[in-house]
C-alpha cells in the first residue's frame, strides 16, 4: 500500500489490473483531455508492463499507482506522480467513467499532495490540465496556485499550469 484516503487506497499496479486499466485507457471520454488517443489491449499491456518495471528501480521518479475503493478493493483508476521533462514533479489521475462525479478526483489529489510533501519530502509539485477539462480545473483551483496558461503543442490545446509548494 502506498497511502489511503477516506474511501480510497493507493497501491502499486499489478498485471491483474490489465482488464480495467485497458477499459480506462481505451475509453474516448476518459482520454479526451489527455491527447484523445485510445490504445489497443496489446499497447496497454506494454504500457502497464513498463510501469511495473519502474517499481524495481530504487531511483525511480516515475510513479503510477492504482486507485482502489477501500470497501471493495475494486480498481477505479490511476494516480501519477512523475518527474517530467522540465524536472518538475507532476501529478495526474484518470478514473473509469463509472466513478466520475463522486469526489474521488479531489480526494486522490489531496492524498497524493499529502504523500508527496510528507512522505517523499518534495518541495514542490505541479499539474497541467487542458483548460476545457472543467472538473479537473475546479479540483486544481481549490488546492494549487494557478500560474499561467500555455499552448500544448503535443495535444493541440491550451493547458492551465498549476504549482503547489510545501
CATH 3.40.50.300 corresponds to the domain 3-122: no
- Rounded to 5°, the CA angle 89-138-87 comes to 10
Mean pLDDT, residues 154-161 taken together: 93
Domain ranges of the chain: 3-122
Give dist(CA 41, CA 18) in Å, integer. Answer: 8
Whether residue 35 has pLDDT greater than 90:
no
DSSP 57: -
For the ranges 73-82, 97-106, 112-121, 150-159, the lowest mean pLDDT is seen at 150-159
pLDDT for the residue 139: 97
**Which residue, among 147, 150, 138, has the nearest Cα to 109 in the 3D structure?**
138
Query: Rounded to two decimals, what is the model's pTM?
Result: 0.95
> Is 155 a residue whose pLDDT tops 90?
no
User: Is residue 50 predicted with pLDDT exceeding 80?
Assistant: yes
Amino acid at each position: 500500500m502506498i497511502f489511503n484516503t477516506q474511501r480510497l487506497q493507493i497501491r502499486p499496479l499489478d498485471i491483474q489490473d490489465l482488464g480495467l486499466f485497458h477499459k480506462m485507457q481505451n475509453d474516448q471520454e476518459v482520454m479526451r483531455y489527455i491527447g484523445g488517443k485510445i490504445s489497443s489491449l496489446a499497447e496497454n499491456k506494454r504500457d502497464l508492463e513498463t510501469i511495473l518495471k519502474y517499481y524495481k528501480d530504487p531511483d525511480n521518479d516515475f510513479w503510477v499507482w492504482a486507485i482502489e475503493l477501500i470497501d471493495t478493493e475494486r480498481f477505479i483508476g490511476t494516480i501519477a506522480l512523475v518527474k517530467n521533462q522540465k524536472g518538475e514533479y507532476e501529478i495526474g489521475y484518470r478514473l473509469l467513467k463509472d466513478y466520475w462525479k463522486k469526489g474521488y478526483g479531489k480526494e486522490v489529489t489531496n492524498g497524493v499532495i499529502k504523500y508527496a510533501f510528507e512522505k517523499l519530502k518534495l518541495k514542490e509539485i505541479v499539474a497541467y490540465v487542458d483548460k476545457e477539462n472543467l472538473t479537473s480545473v475546479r479540483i486544481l483551483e481549490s488546492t494549487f496556485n494557478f500560474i499561467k496558461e500555455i499552448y500544448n503543442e503535443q495535444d493541440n490545446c491550451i493547458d492551465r499550469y498549476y504549482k503547489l509548494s510545501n
